[in-house]
A and B are shown apart, each in its own frame.
Chain A
Amino acid sequence: MEASPSLDLSRWREAPQGVGYRRRVIALAGLRQLLRTRLFRVLLGFAWFGGVMIATGGFVFSQAVASGGWLESIATKLGPRAEAVVAAISGLVTLYPDICVRGVFTLLFWGHSFLGLWLSLVALTTLVPSLITRDRASHALVVYLSRPLTSADYLLGKLGTIVGVLLLVWTGPLLLGWVLSMLFATDRDFVVYSFGPLVRALTFNGIALVVLSAISLGVSALGRTPRLTMVVWICLWSVFGVMAAQPRAPEWILRLSYTQNLGQVRQEVFRLDDALTAAGTQLPVFDQQFKNNLATAGKRAESTDFAGALGALGVFFVGASFVFLRRLRPE
Chain B
Amino acid sequence: MQNSAPAPLPPPAPGRVGYDFIIEADRLGKSYGPQRALADVTANVPPGTIGLLGPNGAGKSTFIKCLLNLETPTTGSARVLGRDIRTESRASRERIGYSPERDCHISGLAGCEYVTYCGQLSGMPLRLARQRTHEILDLVGMGQERYRPVDTYSTGMKQRVKLAQALVHDPEIVFLDEPTNGLDPSGREHILKLIGSLRRDLGISVVMCSHLLRDIERVCDRVIIIGHGRLLEHDTIANLKNRHRRVVEIAPAGERERFVAVLAAAGARAVTLSNGKLRVESASDSIEWILQLMRAHRLPPAEIVANPDALHELFLKSIAENHGSQPQP
Contacts and interface: CB of A to CB of B under 8 A. Distances in A.
Interface string A11-45: 11101111101100110010001000000000000
Contacts of A130: 107-108
Given A4-B197, A5-B194, A16-B94, A142 B100 contact: yes
Interface string B72-103: 00000000000000000111011010101011
A148 B93 contact: yes
A78 interface: no
Contacts of A18: 123
A13 B204 CA distance: 13
B123 A139 contact: no
Interface string B113-128: 0000110111111001
Contact of A135 (B98, B106, B141): B106
Contact of B118 (A10, A139, A143, A330): A143
B135 A9 contact: yes
B189 A1 contact: yes
A132 to B, nearest CB: 12
A158 to B, nearest CB: 12
Nearest to B139: A5
A25 B120 contact: yes
B124 A17 contact: yes
A135 to B, nearest CB: 7
Given A17-B123, A140-B104, A148 B91 contact: yes
B132 A26 contact: no
Contact of A147 (B105, B121, B131, B186): B121
Nearest to A2: B190
Contact of B104 (A1, A6, A15, A143): A143
Nearest to B117: A29
Interface band, chain A = 35 or more
Nearest to A12: B170
Contact of A142 (B70, B96, B128): B70
Interface in B121-151: 121-125, 128, 131-132, 135-136, 139, 141, 151
B68 interface: yes
Nearest to B102: A139
A138 B106 contact: yes
A21 B119 CA distance: 12
A146 B98 contact: yes
Interface string B288-301: 00000000000000
Interface string A144-158: 111111100000000
A147 B122 contact: yes
A2 B123 contact: no
A60 B198 CA distance: 69
Interface string A302-323: 0000000000000000000000
Contacts of A143: 104-106, 118, 121, 165
A26 B100 CA distance: 21
A134 interface: yes
A137 interface: yes
A138 B124 contact: no
Contacts of A17: 123-125
6 contacts: A2-B193, A5-B194, A138-B103, A140-B106, A143-B104, A149-B121
Interface of A: 1-2, 4-7, 9-13, 15-19, 21-22, 25-26, 29, 33, 130, 134-135, 137-140, 142-150, 330
Given A9-B202, A16-B123, A138-B103, 10 more contacts: A5-B139, A7-B194, A9-B139, A17-B124, A25-B117, A142-B70, A143-B106, A145-B68, A145-B69, A330-B65
Interface of B: 65, 68-70, 89-91, 93-94, 96, 98, 100, 102-109, 117-118, 120-125, 128, 131-132, 135-136, 139, 141, 151, 165, 169-170, 186, 189-190, 193-194, 197-198, 201-202
Per CB-CB distance, the 6 closest pairs between chain A and chain B, nearest first, are A16-B123, A139-B104, A146-B98, A12-B170, A7-B201, A17-B123
